[in-house]
Structures are given as C-alpha cells and as structure tokens.
Amino acid sequence: MAARYNAETKTFILETADSSYIMKVSRYGNLLHMYYGSRIPDEDLDYLLTFHDRGFSPNPNEAGNDRTFSLDFLPQEFSGGRNGDYRSPSLELVWGEGGSAFCGKVAGYEIKAGAGRISGMPGLRELPQEQVHTLEIRLADPVSRVEAVLSYTVFEEKNVIARTVRLENRGEKAVRLERLMSATIDFQNSDYDLICFPGRHAMEREFRRIPVSEGIHSIGSSRGTSSHQYNPFLIVCGKNCGEDQGQCWGISLMYSGSFLIEAEKDQYSQLRLNAGINPAGFSWLLEPGEEFQAPQAVLAWSGSGLTRLSHIYHRIFRENLCRSPFRRKARPVLLNSWEAAYFDFDEEKILTIAREAAHMGAEMFVLDDGWFGKRDDDSTGLGDWTVNRKKIGSGIQGLSQKIHAMGMQFGLWVEPEMVSEDSELYRRHPDWCLREPGRPAVRGRYQLVLDLSRRDVCEYLIESMNSLLESAQIEYVKWDMNRSLTEAWSDLLSAERQGEVLHRYVLGLYYVMEQVILKHPDIIFCGCSGGGGRFDPAMLYYQPQIWCSDNTDAINRLKIQYGTSFAYPLSCMESHVSICPNHITGRSVPLSTRGIVAMDGVFGFELDPLKLTSEEKEACRQQVDFYKKYSKVILDGDYYRLTSPYENPYFTAWQQVSQDQKKSLVSIVVTDREGNGPQRFVKLKGLNKDGFYRIEGWKGKYSGNLLMNAGIPVPWELKEYEGIQLRLRMI
C-alpha cells in the first residue's frame, strides 16, 4: 500500500513508484520528518536523528532533565512555534486569554482509499482504476483545544504527494488564526540551490537559480493573486543537478491568491521549506466547532534531474487536475481581435477581420474587450455585461451566427471580477467594491475590484455570466483580470474579520467558477490576468489553458515559455503569432519564427489579418496546417528543454516527443548570429536509443542513440531571429 504505519517503529511510510516519504512519532508524541527521496526499503530511520545538549535550544517540559531533546533542531513535519522551535512555523494563532503556542502531538491517524475532496478549493483527483491513498494524521493540543489534521494524498504511479492541512477548533472560545502553511518540509542539510520564477507584467516566470544561504529566502505575493512577480512554485536541488542528472524536489501551491513559499537555512545548516497562504494581511476568526482548510501543495521528487521533475508535474496537471473535457481534446486555432482592433471597431470591421481570419486557416474568432456597455476605452463599462448595439448591431447572438456561417467557432472576452466607476453596476452598488471606509479608491487600469467575499456579488456574477453564455452560441471565453487587489476591506464583515477578505475573495472566485465554468463543459475557458498574472495550478482546475503573457514578442517568449515549462505542460500555455514590429517591444521577427515559438503551446493568432500580404496569409495557413498535424505531439508529448536561453546566447532549442517515441518535433531559434562563427550542435532527447529516425527533408536515417549523443548541427544558413522546425519519425 502507498501509505502505511509501522507500529513497532512508530513510523508513517508513504511510497510512490520512485520515492519514499517517511515520518516518525517521537518519544514525546511529536511528528518528526525523517526522509523524502529515492524509494528505500527501510522503515526504521532512528539513526538519522542526533540528540545533543545544544546551548540556547530549550527543551519541552515533558522531556524533564533530558537536554538533548529540543524542537529547535529536530526535523519536524508541522511546527507550532512558541514551543522551543525558533524557525519559521507552520502555524501561528491566538487563543484563550492571548496564548499563542500550539503543541500538537499525534492523536490518531486514518488511511483512506482515493484522493478525497478539499472543501471550497481545487485539488488533485484520482482517475478511474488509479491507485491513490490518503493518510490523515491528527495533531491535538489539549490546552488550546486546536487540532491540525495533516493530509497526504499519494499518487503512487505518478510520483506525487499532495499535502494540505485542516485546522479544527475543538474548544469553547474563538481562536484567531494568523498563519497556516499547507506544507512544511525539514531537510537535515542545506547544501542545495533554489530555483524560482520571478518576473513582472509582460515578462513573467523568468528562471533564477541561487544557492541556499543563511537566513530566509522567500518568494510570494501580497497582491491578492498569485501575481506576475512570483509563481507559486519552487525547486530545491542539489548543486550538481541539471536537466538530466541530480536530485531535486518541487513544491507547487494550488492557490490563486496571496501566497508565501520560504526556504530557511538555520543555525545548524538545516533547511526548512514552508508553503501556504501569505500571512501578511491575513487572519481568520475560528469560532468553536469551526474548521479552516488550507490549499493543497503538490510535492514531487526526481533523482534524475529537472526534466524528470517537469514531466511529473506536466503529467499530474494534465491528467489529475484540470476538469475541463478539453484537456484531452484538440483545441481550435483562434484569432483574437485585441491587437487587431483594440476598442476601435464596429460590427462591419469585426466581420471583415473574421472573414480574413477564416481565409488564413483560423478555426475560431474571439471578440476581445470593447463589445459591452459604454466601453470605448478601458475607463468605462466594466460590470455592464450587455452588448453595445452601437458597435455590434446584431448583438452577440447575431454576430455569433454570422461568424459560424463563415465556418468558424465564436469566442468572447469577459472580466467578471472588475467594475468601472462609470458603469450602471457601480452606480447601483458602490458598496459592492473592495475599498477602505472614508478613503478614495485606489484604481488599477482605472477599474475597481468587486467584493467576491460577498455572496450577493458572487450570485450576481453567476447569473450575469450564465445568461451571457446561454444567449448565443459561444465556444470559447477569455476570462481576464486586469489589476491587483489593494484595499482588502469588505462592507459586510466586522472589523475583527477584515483580515479574512483576501482569502474569502479567492474562495468566492472559486465558487463563481464552479457555477459558471464547470456548468459549461462545452466551452473552452482561457484564464488571463494581464497575461500571466494568475498562472497557477488552481486556475488549471477550471480552465484548460491560460494566456501565457501579454508579451507576444517571440524572442521574449523564449524565456517566458522556458520558465513556465518547469511546472506547467504545453497544453495549458496559450501562445499566439502577433504582428511586427511587436506592440510591446517594437522588435521585428520573421513570421516563420513567430509561428515556431507560438507552437510551443496552444497555438493561435493575435494580429490584424487585413495588414498581412497574401504571401503572409498563406504562410499563416501553412502554420495552421502544420500545427494541426503535430498538435497531439506538442500538447500531449514529453517536453525537453534542449538549451537554456539564459546560458546559451546563440540559440534556443526545445523538443516534443510523442509518448510512444515514434514522432518528434525539434525547434531551434537563433538569437545571436556571429560573423564566421563556429558550427554549433544541439543534442536531442527522449528518443528510442535503439530505434532509427528519418528527419523530414534530410537524406538517410539516424539512430536515436546517435541523435542524442552526437546531436544535429544548427543550420549554418539561419540568420539572427530565424528558426527551423525538424520533424522526426521512427522507421
């Protein structure tokens, strides 16, 4: 069984196909973390624990005169703080007359089949006939009367352990929760590197690798969303770890709000990893008998490098996370109207653009911002989800019918969570916005944020969105969110509960998405927040794809998509061919290169076809045909980063390989062309080493072993910003 308890050694053992995760109950009832790494047969790991009388490391009262037992240096599974452990805790709370210590001891456990469900939040689910077990360990503190239920769901075959915590108030007085981490992992050494993915709007999820040093290194968001600035994903890896060798551990937090992931190297060179809701601006009043559920954290380990770790996350997110049926379906190639028209359009212009899009091979037309209310720029209209008849005379239903008559499907842009002050909704309900009493509102993109901690606001959005989606034949929705949260104050909550607003907002968002997105399984929903500002696994639970970045510059996208690929599969990364000079960077890149880079994900167009030449339109049609032919390899195959755009300034290369290793697509983009430079080669990956492959357009056949060890030459004739795609087929 993937989860079991050894009563003789007081040890909990979790096992996946390749890894073991082991915990032990100490002689005083504490739950200690013993091991997470390569699968081992051992169940008694006591020898790993060392006990010394260390100065200024206090001892729990139950230890008596035993000065060698201190929570200050023992590896723990869940730390309550204020109990002799001075490292960053898993939990902080205030109870009774102001007490704050939590001294939870193991009070029981239960092993259940299946993944279970997380109340009010997304979580991984088991597939039919999949062997999944969940271990729950209860830690009880008899003084505060608070109990923490630690949950570990083991996806044995997929090498994933999903962790979460449920806090229960068993006492007679309210408890104020001020910090709760979904997962804590203590490593007994710290000779590691950290890999994280910082960024900003239009340059999200860049790759950073830094050594673990003394103190706390933290990443996170206090913006109410997972943010452009940091992604809720962190890798801990050995110094020698690369794409194909070395140990690495990943932790991905399934949460769309403010988060914190921190790595702390302590005085004894141990490493503690914490991941959970950001405590900044957070508190939660837990009344007697109430529970608080933390979001789920997804853990994975690889003993053979970063590529293997990525494949673990790609597979679990593709197969066990997203609930949309489109996770297994081909996605239509779309053209989005935003960069073609912005707010300046009428129905005739839209139909003309759509007609040309159909001629260049697009299978779907998406009408972006500007179709509703009094929406002639980004300062008005949000919240009024009725069509602007001056722009779209035949309405959404009529426009949809005309688009379908062209042989294309129809999609629409919405931004449900926002409101403009110049809107009918705001004039009716100014109290529906997040704001601070007595202060003028802080604007972002000249819009305010609706208070999704309120059920009446959520119900309004559910009714508005469902009515809109049922008013016409709509096959795609781009769900946008174009600002960060600032004032986290709600008109309906008491002063002592205002610290709950940011989390209640996220719970409200999940509730709305449950009632809108999951009620329309035949519609493709694409997530967006100014591009990649809410690119997190929780969003993938509802939406099969997310707009990767507002930056469509192909050369910048090499870095953005490279960083994104460490945790997220290509099947969720929406990427489009746009116009040149690029609207954000001003750079000009060949159309063929833009197509190659856009095929590193869910392919589409973000341009005005009326500005293309006949030759360019034909090239776009050929790109569509090529993508449709190889989309299964791209979206469902194994992904390999052949080079790093941060380490190799000359070219960036990547590869997709079908699950059966019979087909492969290799993409190369030259980023810096030297005069009279050396011949460079790129080594392929993921092929059948004993098989032979033909490369389309090349003479001869080549063994997988040769292609992976000697590689292929980067074509000499490629100029700067030019690229090539090589198609391999096993014979």
Confidence of residue 192 (pLDDT cuts 50, 70, 90): very high
Q: CA torsion angle for 480, 482, 487, 490 (degrees, to 10)?
A: -20
Confidence of residue 363 (pLDDT cuts 50, 70, 90): very high
Q: Which of 18, 141, 451, 550 is catalytic?
A: 550
Give me the pLDDT at residue 664, please.
Answer: 98
Distance CA 82, CA 400 (A): 61
Give me the pLDDT at residue 218, please.
Answer: 98
List pLDDT tens digits, range 693-724. 999 999 999 999 999 999 999 999 999 999 99
Q: Which CATH number fits domain 325-632: 2.30.42.10, 3.20.20.70, 3.30.56.10, 3.30.230.10?
A: 3.20.20.70
480 in catalytic set = yes
Q: Under a CB-based contact definition with an 8 Å cutoff, are residues 299 and 249 in contact? A: yes
Query: Above 90 in pLDDT, residue 1?
Result: no
Average pLDDT over residues 36-53: 96
CATH code of the domain occupying 3-320: 2.70.98.60
Q: How far is CA 522 from CA 82, 325, 337, 444, 476, in A?
A: 51, 8, 22, 33, 9
Query: Above 90 in pLDDT, residue 328?
Result: no
266 in catalytic set = no
Hey, where are the domains in the chain?
Answer: 3-320, 325-632, 651-730
Give me the pLDDT at residue 350, please.
Answer: 97
List pLDDT tens digits, range 666-686. 999 999 999 999 999 999 999
Q: How high is the mean pLDDT of the chain?
A: 97
Average pLDDT over residues 218-229: 98
**HSE, side-chain direction, 13 A CA sphere, residue 72:** 17
Query: Above 90 in pLDDT, residue 97?
Result: no
Give me the pLDDT at residue 710, please.
Answer: 98
Q: Is 554 helix (H, G, I), strand (E, B) or coil?
A: helix
List pLDDT tens digits, range 124-157. 999 998 999 999 999 999 999 999 999 999 999 9
Confidence of residue 96 (pLDDT cuts 50, 70, 90): confident
Catalogue the E-assigned strands of 500-637: 524-527, 545-547, 573-578, 602-606
Q: How far is CA 669 from CA 644, 654, 697, 708, in A?
A: 12, 9, 18, 19
Query: Above 90 in pLDDT, residue 595?
Result: yes
Give me the pLDDT at residue 82, please.
Answer: 86
Distance CA 396, CA 388 (A): 9
Give me the pLDDT at residue 122, please.
Answer: 98
Residue 537 exposed, middle or buried by CB count within 10 Å (0-12, 13-18, 19+): buried
Query: Above 90 in pLDDT, residue 526?
Result: yes
Residue with tokens 């005309």: 402
Q: Under a CB-based contact definition with an 8 Å cutoff, are residues 423 and 495 in contact? A: no
Give me the pLDDT at residue 81, please.
Answer: 82
CATH topology of domain 651-730: Immunoglobulin-like (2.60.40)
Average pLDDT over residues 259-268: 98
List pLDDT tens digits, range 484-507. 999 999 999 999 999 999 999 999
Give me the pLDDT at residue 123, please.
Answer: 98
Q: Which of 368, 451, 480, 553 is catalytic?
A: 480
Confidence of residue 255 (pLDDT cuts 50, 70, 90): very high
Average pLDDT over residues 450-470: 98
* CA 417 from centre of chain: 20
List pLDDT tens digits, range 274-310. 999 999 999 999 999 999 999 999 999 999 999 999 9
List pLDDT tens digits, range 418-457. 999 999 999 999 999 999 999 999 999 999 999 999 999 9
Please name which of 82, 52, 81, 56 lies closest in space to residue 67, comparing C-alpha atoms. Answer: 52
List pLDDT tens digits, range 156-182. 999 999 999 999 999 999 999 999 999
Helix (H) or strand (E) run with residue 141 in it: strand 132-141
Average pLDDT over residues 607-623: 97
Give me the pLDDT at residue 599, please.
Answer: 97
